[in-house]
Amino acid sequence: MGPLGRLSCSPREPAPERGEPAPERDEPEFRGPLKEFLWLVEVRKTDSKHDKDSGPRRLSTDDFGGGGATRILHNYLVWRVVVVLSEHLSPPFREALHELAREMEGSDKPQELARVCLGQANRHFGMALGALFVHEHFSAASKAKVQQLVEDIKYILGRRLEELDWMDAETKAAARAKLQYMMVMVGYPDFLLKPEAVDKEYEFEVHEKTYFKNILNSIRFSIQLSVKKIRQEVDKSTWLLPPQALNAYYLPNKNQMVFPAGILQPTLYDPDFPQSLNYGGIGTIIGHELTHGYDDWGGQYDRSGNLLHWWTEASYSRFLRKAECIVHLYDNFTVYNQRVNGKHTLGENIADMGGLKLAYYAYQKWVREHGPEHPLHRLKYTHNQLFFIAFAQNWCIKRRSQSIYLQVLTDKHAPEHYRVLGSVSQFEEFGRAFHCPKDSPMNPAHKCSVW
């Protein structure tokens, strides 16, 4: 029986073993490896020299509304452990998980073992794998070029802030300050170039023959690292993604954008691509992350990442009215008879629309400064059209109906084809580039616009 077989977590279990203190009344009792894990993260209220309610605390049954709560709490915690660890167990466990994935996401076949192993190496040794990745796939020259691209797009936002007619001068000054303070990290953290520093990330035991134990050691180590950070000063240079991630993020509480080397690759970016493709590809992603600093959520944090309202009431209520137009637009998109949730996806939609515009105008500035690009051989599209095609290509994906259903219910991003249609249809330059008749679906007379 695997380690999970020894867990005893049901409230109907007999009294604690001899020598163990009795659990507090109505608090769950755990034993074995689970107990060891849960109590690792325990932080006593009295440990804090701050207000005793300000720090993390152990969940109590009060959080679940009393009566019958112990059972709910037990079941929930055990389920979280099962869901995280089952994928590392023998085939019957993995087959059960696959059944679940088939129902929820429509996935056809279980993943090949080689991919599973690569996925786990990526998850548990991300930075070590990333050191190998950047060595082969990301040059210092690429980093400098992308940094310049980010600066160009930030410059365009600065210009657009000046021109906005719905924001007053006081709010504009705060928005500009936020832009100036925004931190940008590109490619990979510098420590990746020093093998001994990479080793420090993985100071736990790993043996060839003890796969499951290796995973537990890795999880325990990362919990310990997290716990150590409690009440320490925030380290703003930490990367939440390894460099090979095909992703990017904006953190409102650090006012920071991060673009790992993995997303700075073809088809999104290549130093030798026409600039129309680079601006339509990675440029719109950079614009998207930048705009997150000014969406309905990120816009609530100030230039230092504090949850502090920097808007005047008049400007903020005009912002909300403009955002309402986008909520309504996406509320009217349906997929498999299911409505997209305009409110739930609002922040991402604001970021998509803003990012598209910022990248487009940054490309126009590039053309003004460097001259127009040569048409691509045997291709009928202009570079302005290619910019939009590259943007649409970013979101080219095929999903099964179950996966779309799950996405519409839970994901803060709208289904990909609406991310494209929603954004381009509200941007007059798209209608101009593709000669869409006025008031046609892709060029409506009334358009939503925030940034």
Complex with Zn ion: residue 28 or 354, whichever CB lies closer: 354
Complex with Zn ion: residue 189 or 354, whichever CB lies closer: 354
Q: Which residues pair with 187 in a beta bridge?
A: 260
411 is catalytic: no
**SS3 for 373?**
coil
Q: Report in angstroms how near the CB of residue 304 gets to Zn ion at its nearest.
A: 21
Integer CA distances (angstroms), 205 to 3, 215, 256, in order: 18, 10, 34
Q: Do the beta carbons of residue 171 and residue 312 sit within 8 Å? A: yes
Complex with Zn ion: residue 128 or 248, whichever CB lies closer: 248
Residues 8 and 19: their CA atoms lie apart, in Å, by 17
289 is catalytic: yes
Residue tagged active-site, from 29, 152, 289, 295:
289
Query: Please, which residues have CB within 8 angstroms of residue 188's CB and are 6 or more apart in sequence?
Result: 130, 131, 134, 138, 239, 243, 260, 261
Q: Report in angstroms how near the CB of residue 258 gets to Zn ion at its nearest.
A: 12
Residue tagged active-site, from 352, 369, 416, 428:
352
| Token pair in block for residue 183 | 């931190």
Amino acid letter for position 335: V
Residues 395 and 338: their CA atoms lie apart, in Å, by 20
* Phi, psi (rounded to 5 degrees) for 186: -125, 135
Complex with Zn ion: residue 179 or 351, whichever CB lies closer: 351
Per-residue DSSP letters for 68-97? THHHHHHHHHHHHHHHHHGGGS-HHHHHHH
Residues 401 and 448: their CA atoms lie apart, in Å, by 29
Number of separate helices (H) and strands (E) present in the chain: 17, 5
| Token pair in block for residue 395 | 């979101």
Amino acid letter for position 421: L
Q: Report in angstroms how near the CB of residue 292 gets to Zn ion at its nearest.
A: 6
Q: Report in angstroms how near the CB of residue 402 gets to Zn ion at its nearest.
A: 23
Q: Report in angstroms how near the CB of residue 288 gets to Zn ion at its nearest.
A: 6
Residues 5 and 34: their CA atoms lie apart, in Å, by 11
Complex with Zn ion: residue 324 or 411, whichever CB lies closer: 411
Complex with Zn ion: residue 275 or 291, whichever CB lies closer: 291
- Interface residues with Zn ion (CB under 5 A) are 348, 351
* R_g of the chain, CA atoms, integer Å: 25
In a 10 Å sphere around its CB, with 0-12 CB exposed, 13-18 middle and 19+ buried, how is residue 148 labelled?
Answer: exposed
Q: Report in angstroms how near the CB of residue 204 gets to Zn ion at its nearest.
A: 33
Complex with Zn ion: residue 351 or 362, whichever CB lies closer: 351
Q: Report in angstroms how near the CB of residue 326 gets to Zn ion at its nearest.
A: 14
What per-residue string of b and e applies to 345-384 under the rule 16 or more CB within 10 Å gives b? bbbbbbbbbbbbbbbbbbbebbeeeeeebeeeeeeeeebb
| Token pair in block for residue 43 | 């932080």
Q: Which residues are catalytic?
A: 289, 352
